[in-house]
Chain A
Amino acid sequence: MSDIKFSEDTLAAANKIIARYPEGKHKSALIPLLHLAQAEFDGWLSLAAMDYVASLLNIQSIEAYEVASFYSMFNLNPVGKCLIEVCRTSSCWLRGANEIIEHIEKKYGIKEGETTADGMFTLKTVECLGSCGTAPMMMVGAQFHENLSYEKVDSILENCQSDNKRKTYLDKVVINQY
C-alpha cells in the first residue's frame, strides 16, 4: 500500500458518491471512484491507486483490478497529458476516421497506442462514442470534438499543446458537483 490519497475535495465527492448506494452495497461506487482516482492521479490507475480505492470501499484489491481492466476508459498504464481518442466504427469510418488517425499519426510521429516523447499526447482509437451524426470525431478529455477536418484537428491539438494542462474525463467542476 502506498501513501497516495485523495485531496479533501475529492474525498468528499467520493463519500457523497458512496452514499448513493444502499447500506452494504458500497461496492457499487467502485467505477465512479476509479474515475475519481484516474482524474486525480495523473490520468491512469496505478496499482497504488487501485489499492487505495479498494481500501476506501473495503473490498479486495483484485476486485478493483478485475473491474479496472474490464472497462476501456481506465488506463492501466501512464498516458500523455492529452489522451486523444478517435472513434473508428462504421459511421466515423464512412466519414474519414482512418484518415484522421493517419493525420494525427503523421503529425506527431506516433502510432495508435503510443505517446509523444514529450508526454503531451497519447493516441488511442476507440469504438463508437455516439457521435455518428457528427463524424468524424475525437474525444480529448471529456470533450467531444466533432465534424473534424484536418485543420480542425490541428487547431484543437495545438491549443492543447499551448494550454499544457492535463485533460481528464472528470474535471474539478464535475467533482465539485457531486
Chain B
Amino acid sequence: MAKVTIDGRVIEVPDGITILQAARMIGPEVAPPTMCYHSKLKTSGGYCRTCLVEVTKSSEKDPRPMPKLVASCRTDVMDGMEVGNLSSPKVIEARKSVVEFLLLNHPLDCPICDQAGECHLQDLSYEHGSSKTRTDFERRTFEKISIGEKIQLHMTRCILCYRCVKVAEQITDGRVHGVINRGDHSEISTYIEQAIDNDFSGNMIDVCPVGALTDKTFRFKSRVWFTKPVLAHRNCEKCSGNVNLWFKGDEVLRVTGRKDQWGEVEEFICNTCRYDKKATSDWTVEGPSPVNRHSVISANHYEVFTKPTEFKLNDVKPLSIQEGDKS
C-alpha cells in the first residue's frame, strides 16, 4: 500500500496504480481532467497533457520534488508521495496552456457539432481554459475523407488522443485506421477511402472525447440535451447488451455504451446494438441513466432522476483498476 497526498487529501492506495487513479479514488474534486487517458484502454494516456500534476515530494524514501510536471495518468504513486493538482499554481498555468494549445486549431464549431453538450473539450475549456484566444492565424483544415457508412469523421475537431486507434487495436479484430502524417499534420485516417467495418467499430465514437467521430445515424437529429438517456439492456450474442438509449419523446435516436462518472465507456458494445436496435421493444429499460448534475443533459429535464436505484453522485464506485491498465 502507498500513502499518497493529493491537494492535501490523504489516501491509502494499492501499489502500482497511477496518481490519476489515486486522485479519482479520493473524488472528482481532486481528480485531474483527462482527454486521452481511458481506463478501459491499455497504453492510453500521456499525450494530451491535461492531467499534468506537480509532485512536490516523490516518496518517503526520496523526498525530492520531481523536476517537471508529470502526466498523472502515466505516473505511478509511491509511498509518501505528495501531489499538487488544483492547489498548484504551476499546474493551473500549465493546464491553461494545454487548453490553449488544444483549441489553437479547433474550429469552435460547437453550434453545429453533435458532440456539443457532452464534449470533454467544452468542459475542459470552461473549467480550465482562458476566455480569450491569442491567435489570428487561419485554422488547420484537412481533406475530408469518408471512413464508412456509420461513422462521421471531422478531423478538424480531433485532438489526437489516440483513443479510437486503441479501440481499433484492442477491441476490434483488425485495425484499418490510424494516425498518418506527422506533427501538426497528423490525422486520423484510413489513408484511402475505406470503410471501417467491424462489429465493434462503433466504440470509436463513444471513446472520442470531442466531436471528431460522431454517429451518422444520429447526425443533426437533436441536440443531446433535448434527449433523455435511459439505461437498458438486451440479450446480445456479441456484447453485454448493456447500453444507454437516448430518447426524444418515444423515439430512440441513439444507442451508446454506458459511461462512468469520468465519461469513460464502462463496457464496449457491438454495432448491432448501436445501430440496428432502435425500437423500444428491442430493449428492457432499466430506468434513467445517472447524469452528472452539472451536465447540460440534466439541465432541461429529469425530475424523476433518482429512479430506480436512488442514485447519488457519491455512490459511484471507485474506479476499478484494470489489469495492465498502464504500461
Asked if the two chains touch in their complex, CB atoms less than 8 Å apart, one says yes
Closest to A47 in B: B192
Query: Which residue of chain A has its CB nearest to the CB of B179?
Result: A66
Minimal beta-carbon separation of B241 from chain A (angstroms): 29
For the complex, what is the distance from the CA of A69 to the CA of B174, rounded to whole Å? 20
Segment touching B, from A17-25, A28-36, A57-65, A81-89? A57-65
Q: How far is the CA of A69 from the CA of B191 in the complex (A)?
A: 9
Closest to A63 in B: B178
Chain B interfacial residues counted at CB < 8 A: 13
- Identify B181's interface contact among A60, A61, A63, A69, CB under 8 A: A69
Cα–Cα distance between A62 and B187 once the two chains are bound (Å): 13
CB <8 Å contact, A60 and B175: yes
Q: Are B192 and A66 in contact, CB atoms less than 8 angstroms apart? A: no
Q: Is B145 on the interface with A (CB-CB < 8 A)?
A: no
Residues in A whose Cβ lies below 8 Å from that of B190: 62
A66 smallest CB distance to B (angstroms): 5
Question: B residues 55-87 with Cβ under 8 Å of A?
Answer: none
Residue of B with least CB distance to A64: B191
Among A47, A62, A69, A72, point to the contact of B177 (Cβ < 8 A).
A62
Contact check, A65 vs B182: say whether CB atoms are below 8 A apart: no
A66 contacts B178, C-beta separation under 8 Å: yes
Say whether B175 contacts A69, CB under 8 Å: no
Task: Give chain A residues whose Cβ lies under 8 Å from the Cβ of B316.
Answer: none
Interchain CB contact under 8 A, A60 and B176: yes
In the bound complex, do residue B191 and residue A70 qualify as a contact, i.e. CB atoms below 8 Å apart?
no
Residues of B contacting A70 with CB < 8 Å?
180-182
A residues near B189, Cβ cutoff 8 Å: 65
Chain A positions 67 through 92: 1 when the CB is less than 8 Å from some CB of chain B, otherwise 0: 00110100000000000000000000
Chain A residues with CB below 8 A from B180, complex form: 65-66, 69-70
Q: Taking the nearest CB of chain A, how far is it from the CB of B158, in angstroms?
A: 15
Q: Given A70-B181, A70-B182: A65 and B175 within 8 A (CB)? A: no
Q: Are B182 and A69 in contact (CB under 8 A)?
A: yes
**Beta-carbon contact of B181 and A62 below 8 Å:** no
Q: Contact: B182 with A62, CB < 8 Å?
A: no
Chain B residues closer than 8 Å to A69, beta-carbon distance: 180-182, 191
Q: Which residue of A lies closest to B174 (CB)?
A: A60
| Chain B residues whose C-beta falls within 8 Å of the C-beta of A47 in the assembled complex | 191-192
- Would you give the 0/1 interface string for B161-176, flagging 1 where the beta carbon is closer than 8 Å to chain A? 0000000000000111
The 6 closest A-B pairs by CB, nearest first: A65-B191, A69-B180, A66-B178, A62-B178, A69-B181, A70-B182
